[in-house]
Structures are given as C-alpha cells and as structure tokens.
Amino acid sequence: MIADIIKHKPTRLFVFFACFFVANALIAESIGGKIFVLEAWLGLPVHTFTLMGQSGLSFSLTCGVLLWPLEFVMTDIVNEYYGKKAVKMISWVAVALISYAFLMFYISIGTPPADWWVVSKTAEGVPNFQHAFSAVFGQGMGIIIGSITAFLVAQIVDVTVFHKIKQKTGEKHLWLRATGSTVISQLVDSFIVLYVAFKLFGNWTWPQLITVMCVNYAYKFTVAVLLTPVLYWIEKPIEKYLGKETAAQMKAAAMDK
C-alpha cells in the first residue's frame, strides 16, 4: 500500500506541498518576533513618514512577512490542482501544529534552567540565556491568537475568492485568480492579526491600527503582485511531472467537475 502511495505522482506531490506549507507557516510564526526595517535590508535610505496623523512611520516589518507570501502562493497551487477541501485540510493541520509548537515553547520556557547554561553566552553579550530564550520563544498570547486566527480566516477567504474567479474565467487568467485572491485575503489577514493582537488584547487606537495595517498591507500587496510570475514558473514543471492529461483531470476535479 505504501509503495502504491509513493508511486502515485499526484499523492507524492501533495505530500510535498503539504509538508512545505506546514513547515513554512511554522517557521514564519517562529521568526515573527523579530522586527526589521525593509529599507535598510534593501540598502536604501530609511525615511519616516506620517499617515493619518501617525508620525515616525517606516516599513518596519516582522520577519514572518518574508515567508507568508510563499504560503499564499502554495495555497493557490494546491487550490488549482487539488481544490478547496485540500487547502482547508492543510490549513487546519498547520494551525494545529503551530498551536502545538507554541505550547511546547511555553513548556520549555517554564522548565528550570541549568545554572551553567544561564550564563553560557555571557561572553557573546547575553548575560542571562534564560531571559533571551523566553524573549524569543515567549510571544504574547494576543499575538499568537491573532496570528493563528488571521491565518485561518485568510486561507478560507483566499480559497473562496480563487474559486469564484475561476468559475467565471475557466482555465484562463491564472494571474487574475491567484493575485486577486491573495490581495483580498492579505487585506483580511493584515486587519485581523493587528485587531486581535493589539486592539482586542492591547490598547491601540483605531488610527494606530489602521495606519500600521496600511503599511503592512502595502508590502504584502506589492509582493503578491511581484510573485505572480512565480505561479507560471511553478506550473510548468508540475504539469511536466504529472503529465498534461493527469494535470487537466486534477484541475477539473479541483473544480468539482
């Protein structure tokens, strides 16, 4: 039975997509605690600006946003070949494993550290390794709940919009359904994560929330558009691997035809 599963190309490909999808989501959540300045990373001058009365703004983003665009590219690919149910399944698996990972982070933070380990990185400028470990892995509960909720809702929005557009356009205009679904779902994601983490669990004002959301969404929107050609680049080796006839059958089945 296992041999049959391994030999079945669509199944083997789905396992790869699902593993990458879950791993990418987990890594993005884990590195999301670090904030970086986009302009400085690109080697550009850093300029602050004012928006909606909020001054001192810049493109300061979490490292998690480096990986989230790939997540939505994978969503569109899985959606194209395996359908809505497949996307929802791997999304629920990702949420479950991310929740499990954060539970393990909190348990590991609470374990009593060895005395020698606490001071083991003093020479590298970390006087208390336990505090550093807790700061890195102990993200606030509001951020965790907000991020997981935003991810799940955005995935549902993405897959729904993708299928609505495909029903209207058929097999044509992959760029339209992929980019359209992503820019809409990313808007939902940007709002929910900030609302839950910093409005529901925090004390941000509405102008603060909307302003930061606009800055984050501007980045996500730009990346979503720039990554559109990647879908066509990925589609070619997939169809070569599966064969045109199998790929066509899978696309039809994904649309419940």
Give SS3 for 11.
Answer: helix
What DSSP designation does 125 have?
A: T
**DSSP per-residue codes, 174-194:** HHHHHHHHHHHHHHHHHHHHH
Structural tokens at position 181: 């679904």
d(CA 107, CA 150): 24
What is the C-alpha radius of gyration for the chain, rounded to an integer number of angstroms? 21
Q: Mean pLDDT by 10-residue block, N- to C-terminus, for the chain (257 residues)?
A: 78 93 91 82 80 73 83 88 92 93 92 95 93 84 84 89 83 79 88 86 82 83 84 87 89 80
CB count in 10 Å sphere of residue 189: 28
d(CA 227, CA 142): 30
Task: Give the number of residues written for the chain.
Answer: 257
The confidence score (pLDDT) of residue 110 equals 93
